[in-house]
A and B are shown apart, each in its own frame.
Chain A
């Protein structure tokens, strides 16, 4: 019995006092951690080396615990960054008018975070243990002495709370993190970020918020260690729950624990919460449940329906990931048995007959929170792969549906500023009978329906197994085309002596002027002299921003056509349209010298006629 152990007795009484199970039974050694062994090893390796670490992963997978445990193992203390209570603006305004004594300097959360980071890198040993050094300093000891003494107490810096702000604050926070990751010599720093589930239409609305991805890439570039945690495995959570049950003397059958684990979605925190909720107020058995070890190969006892339902009640509300939801549409699983029992199934036209689908497409869309536009984009990109190679007519039908759906989706979101297809919107539909429905919302809803049902109807699954999914490329192509069309205009304008407006419309410039310019420039020396520039800042399809910028960096100065913006920097670009053209001044002898090489027939007297 481990009850004799001092630490365990204090933990056993936890429920009756304060703190949740998750807090009182946080793992104390690395062996107890739910994170995968490999990841834990990488955390240890980092701590042995020092420097910065960026741990990312879904919530409740044991990121912070792994770091804390590793720190304990190495004998480090953990200093967690605690965001100060922010000064309320109204409060500050009130106090500012008061006496000098009560004046409060305003500092935003971003300010404080940035200050904390720079303190951490600059005067690491002193500032971090400020509270404990206070007495020493008042003793009048020399600063050097304090530093050496404090350095002996080793500290790991843990940053879990990254402030969110507007775009400006965001840049400052990221810069602070970069500096933190790049600095050497300070205490080891661990930044823990939680990866949000990827959800289609959600990100656009909160672009200023710092995502785990941003932090991760910034810190990786600055040379920090990166550890990506995965969601905790079922086995690891089961182990953790069993451990807690033992310590707390809960009477839980393994199948009940399984039920909780299955509904925890790899989140230990939520699993422990569920366990606590379940066992709250129940009689303790007083004895430790006998560890019923399953033998290898022995089938698992499935959790009862009641237990599963109960576990679901206390589990985290889990949406569907983007790819998960799309998979449901694209793989298009249908119930093929008991078709005879469906009334009228046999009387349908054979071509239109479909077995009942397993999922309600609207429900899947609503749960995944993908906006209709995103859904259509993804389905369009991937749908063709999933259709049998012989049934092109169904591909055509599916694409017709998608084209319809996209029109509806665009009509829906266009006037609302785009990207407003929020999950809230989906849930609002039909909630309130009295309220007038926003017609845009209906269009959004319909678009989702048409797209998903259209794809489900027309995709005759090919026999192929797993197929990789692609993200929609259309937006990327549009951006590339926009960059290129700017370049086209610049090139044509340069060919027309800086006159950007006589080349025709943008369409004409791309379809008529540019191909001709290419041909003219490519054919002979005379042609090359007529066309000053050819497109150089040209984006290829499939090239991303980084590759493009990298390639552009190698293009020498002066080769690319100047953009209208460049022309007008400083001095406005002026030209006289009257000075050229068929009624321009006759060519001077100097001009002719230049041209003689190319034009054999040209002579001074003849060019007068051109006037």
Chain B
């Protein structure tokens, strides 16, 4: 039984299908492919904006339906390095025409993977009916999480094998991808869809699923999604399985970890002391272990705190949140920087309270 989640089921597979969101971008991409060749592409935009969907649709536009026959492989790369061999394992999806992978999953060994995979792909070029050698496409996700070395390696191999291999890079934050890489690609910005676009999308999906969607609920789901299509569709589906027929006033679920962060925020506001700080540390660890990325914790926590403090303190929260976020990017154990932020806020807030109320 094909009971796919809506977010997967209603994904546009062809560029022509993308009518609700990113329609203009899709049209331009279609024209680009129609000219025969395709440069390296660099899709960037926030989470849930449709970067991967567009990239896969472009692939289908170039190679036809055959590109959707993919198989999942767990590939082991053996790399000879001076004196010792390095073995890297990475899961990848591949078809006859392309392969997609997330090299940042192998941590600091990512540089071996990006070089080896391109070399290997360059060796086996597909030949079309006329005997003309074509190219393969390598889709790399989360390029912004690649190490510096890997990005350098990518740059070199990209030039060397550009005749036989095209790269589709996908990243959330272009600022973390080095300029040299960006300039070798055609950048395609995939902005987060507007709230209205998401509302339209929700209605469209509801129509396809034969559901009655009250406009009020659609608006609320769209607003709760934070301009993220994936989240909007998942939330709608959650609402569907929880309660159907829909009620306009139906509760829209937020995620458990967001509630948890809000709770941490109230705890911090309730008491500022070293023992409370230790308690918060335990909670932060809990979030880490549940795979919530530290940057997101920091952002959400700062937002949760900002909702409930005076204006003077807000400026300072922004300042310190930014300060420690930079720290986190530059290295070290994220818990240390996160907790430093919490401690800093506690100190600020306490002195503010003392100044205001004596």
Contacts and interface: CB of A to CB of B under 8 A. Distances in A.
Are A and B co-members of a single complex? yes
Interface of A: 376-377, 380, 384-385, 387-390, 392-393, 395-400, 402-403, 406-407, 409-411, 414, 473-474, 477-478, 480-481, 484-485, 488, 495-502, 504-508, 510-516, 518-520, 523-524, 526-527, 529-530, 539-541, 564-565, 567-568, 572-584, 587, 591, 594-595, 601-602, 606, 609-610
B238 to A, nearest CB: 5
Contacts of B337: 403, 406
B331 A396 contact: no
B8 A581 contact: yes
11 contacts: A384-B274, A392-B272, A393-B347, A396-B346, A399-B336, A481-B289, A488-B291, A507-B47, A577-B56, A578-B65, A591-B2
B324 interface: yes
B304 interface: no
B168 to A, nearest CB: 12
A583 B8 CA distance: 12
B344 interface: yes
B181 interface: no
B255 interface: yes
Given A407-B330, A602-B210, A511 B288 contact: no
A567 B74 contact: yes
A602 B1 CA distance: 14
A181 to B, nearest CB: 34
Interface string B1-38: 11111001111110001000000000000000000000
B71 interface: yes
B109 interface: no
Interface stretch (B115-123, B130-138, B190-198, B228-236): B228-236
Contacts of B70: 499, 574-577
B296 A507 contact: yes
B347 A526 contact: no
Interface in B269-300: 272-275, 277-278, 281-282, 285-286, 288-293, 296
B69 interface: yes
A582 B10 CA distance: 5
Given A516-B235, A527-B241, A481 B68 contact: no
Interface string B322-337: 0010010011110111
Contacts of A403: 324, 327, 332, 336-337, 340
B347 A520 contact: no
Contacts of A579: 2, 68
B164 interface: no
B91 interface: yes
Given A507-B47, A520-B238, 9 more contacts: A484-B289, A510-B291, A564-B91, A573-B72, A574-B69, A576-B69, A578-B13, A582-B11, A582-B12
A342 to B, nearest CB: 29
B61 interface: no
A2 B344 CA distance: 73
Contact of A515 (B255, B281, B332): B255
Contact of B336 (A395, A402, A499, A501): A402
A579 B65 CA distance: 10
B274 A387 contact: yes
A194 B65 CA distance: 67
A508 B241 contact: no
Interface string B234-245: 110110011000
B333 A474 contact: yes
B159 to A, nearest CB: 26
Contact of B47 (A495, A504, A591): A504
Interface centre among A376, A393, A484, A519 (most CB of B within 10 A): A519
B210 A504 contact: no
Nearest to B295: A507
Interface of B: 1-5, 8-13, 17, 47-48, 52, 56, 65, 68-74, 89, 91, 93, 100-102, 105, 139, 141-142, 145, 172, 208-210, 228, 230-231, 234-235, 237-238, 241-242, 253, 255-257, 272-275, 277-278, 281-282, 285-286, 288-293, 296, 324, 327, 330-333, 335-337, 339-340, 343-344, 346-348, 350-351
B107 to A, nearest CB: 9
A161 B71 CA distance: 54
Contact of A411 (B48, B172, B331): B331
A583 B100 CA distance: 23
A581 to B, nearest CB: 5
Contacts of A410: 331-332
Contact of B8 (A480, A485, A502, A519): A502
A402 B228 CA distance: 36
Given A385-B278, A507-B47, A502 B52 contact: yes
A505 B48 CA distance: 10
Contacts of A601: 210
Contact of B4 (A398, A511, A518, A581): A581
A598 B1 CA distance: 13
A389 B274 contact: yes
B291 A406 contact: no
Given A565-B91, A573-B72, A395 B347 contact: yes
Contact of A511 (B101, B296, B327): B296
A507 B339 CA distance: 21
A501 B93 contact: yes
Contacts of B291: 481, 484-485, 488, 506, 510, 514
Contacts of B93: 499-501
Contacts of A606: 210
B68 A513 contact: no
Nearest to A399: B340
Contacts of A609: 208, 210
Contacts of A526: 241
B48 A512 contact: yes
Nearest to B212: A601
Given A385-B274, A403-B324, A523-B242, A515 B257 contact: yes
B88 to A, nearest CB: 13
A572 B351 contact: no
A582 B273 CA distance: 55
Interface centre among B5, B101, B102, B237 (most CB of A within 10 A): B5
Contact of B285 (A395, A399, A477): A477
B148 to A, nearest CB: 11
Contact of A519 (B3, B69, B253, B336): B253
B113 to A, nearest CB: 15
B293 A507 contact: yes
